Amino acid sequence: MRILVTGANGQLGNEMQMLAKENPQHLYYFTDVQELDICDKEAVWSYISEKQIDVIVNCAAYTAVDKAEDDRELAHKLNSVAPGILARAAQANNAAMIQVSTDYVFDGTAHTPYTEECKPCPDSIYGSTKLEGEQEVMDHCEKAVVIRTAWLYSIYGNNFVKTMIRLGKERDDLGVVFDQIGTPTYANDLARAIYTIINKGIVRGIYHFSNEGVCSWYDFTVAIHRLAGITSCKVRPLHTAEYPAKANRPAYSVLDKTKIKTTFGIEIPHWEESLERCIGKMKNDE
C-alpha cells in the first residue's frame, strides 16, 4: 500500500518512520509542512491523487494546549480544518484515513475509564478543535479510523519525560501535580498499533489507545527519575490549583482500550514497561 504520514517530524511521525523498516511491504511518503501543507486544499488533493495514496495517517496537530487558548485560529486550522481537507481528499481517491486525537475531548469529570461510547465534552480550545477534527474525518471519509490517545512521549521531540529528566538533573526539588490521573503513552507503542490496523485492515470507527495502567503526573515523574537513575531531586506532589495553567486539564482521563484490543488483536504493554524501554533507548543514544 501507498501510505502518507503527515506531521512526520513530530513524536509519532518519527516513530512511524522508524517502524517503516519493519513494514517494508508498503511504499511511504513522510511529509511535514515543508513538503505538504495540509491546510492547503489544492496541494493536498493533487498530492494524494498524484501519489495514488491508499492510507493517510495524520500525525500533524496543534498540540500547545495553553497557547491554543489564545491562538484559536491556528489551532482550529490545524486540528479541525486540515483533517477535514485530508478526509475529503481520501474519500475522493478511495483511500482510508487514520486520524490521531486526544483524551482532551473529555472534561475529565468521570471516575471510570472513558469508552468510545462516552459523550465527548471538551473543556479547552485544544480539546474542542481536536473533537471537531474527529467529526470532520468521520463525516467525510468512509474508511476512517480515529484513535484517541493521551500523555504521549517518545525519544523524539519535546515531551514530559524529557523535561522531567532535565529538571531532575538541574534541581534539588520539583513539584508535580498528583490530582490529574491518566495513562502515559509511548509513541512507539501507538505507532505499532497503527501499523497493526493498516496491516489487518481498516475497521471504521473511533478507538482509544494508551498504555495499560493508571497513574498521576506525580507518579509518572517518580518512575521517570527512578528509571533514569536520578536520585538527587526530591519530587513533591502538588494540587492542580498550585500549578495554574491557561487551559483546563482533565482531572481523570483514563481511556478504556477494550475495543481496539478486541477488534485488531492488539496487546498493550503496561506504562512502566514502555517507559523503561524508552528511557533505555535515550541512554543508548547519549
Q: Is 133 exposed, middle or buried (0-12, 13-18, 19+ CB in 10 A)?
A: buried
- Annotated catalytic, 29? no
| Residues 103/149, Cβ–Cβ less than 8 Å | yes
Task: Supply 51's cell numbers.
Answer: 501519489
Residues 6 or more apart whose Cβ sits within 8 Å of residue 76: 129, 132
Give CA–CA dist 47/68, Å, rounded: 29
Q: Which of 47, 104, 126, 153 is catalytic?
A: 126
| Residues 44/91, Cβ–Cβ less than 8 Å | no
Task: Supply 97's cell numbers.
Answer: 484515513
Write the DSSP assignment of 17-78 as a string of letters. HHHHTT-TTSEEEE--TTT--TT-HHHHHHHHHHTT-SEEEE------HHHHTT-HHHHHII
Give CA–CA dist 193/171, Å, rounded: 36
Give CA–CA dist 18/116, Å, rounded: 29
Distances (CA, A) of 84 to 79, 107, 129, 137, 285: 9, 24, 12, 6, 38
Give CA–CA dist 153/208, Å, rounded: 16
Residue 252: count other Cβ atoms within 10 Å of its Cβ: 19
Catalytic residues: 126
